[in-house]
Structure 1
């Protein structure tokens, strides 16, 4: 029987309000700072992503939002609540990892 590859697991979420970012630390040593704006623009909710290909919606003023709450969803995700009222995005750990990797490779603004 083939062994399943290890999927990195988050060990710490730290909300850095003054920097408007979420720092996610994984059990493989990777640490990513994900801007709140990126989290809001890439929310996995149907409100943002639509219900099919090509339906993604722009999020006005995403660079101004803050996360006001976070709630665990089972053992696989976290639901983020933003100060603009958006609260329907459920961020799986794999999505946070890919957003962290994307944020890490983007040039600083």
Structure 2
């Protein structure tokens, strides 16, 4: 299934990125989850650990509010992804639409929670 966003917004006060998807689904990502799930090679521990889906462990990580979880900038990467620059300078992860949809923490997408 191909996913594409209809609207993306980031609230720096509540520290939540919200994506309204074309199929009507609404995903709300805490900034700490996004940073814990950063898909870059450095955060994943090398290219050999790169996957098209987030690791399940990221849903258990609770990163506190810090420069590492404060969003500085959000940018589109073509028409297929976004990249986030964090206040600590990290800006290497490219979050494509499929990855973000699989990262959705809501009860519909993660019914075991």
Q: Normalised by the size of structure 1, how large is the TM-score?
A: 0.77
* Equivalenced residues, count: 96
The runs of 4+ residues in structure 1 deviating greater than 4 Å are none
Q: Give unpaired runs (5+ residues) of structure 1.
A: 1-5
C-alpha root-mean-square deviation of aligned residues, in Å?
A: 2.3
Of residues 13, 28, 42, the one that matches 2:37 is 42
Larger Rg: 1 or 2?
1
User: For 2:76, which of 63, 72, 77 is the aligned residue?
Assistant: 72
Match of 1:20 among 12, 15, 32: 15
Residues 1:88 and 2:77 aligned together: no
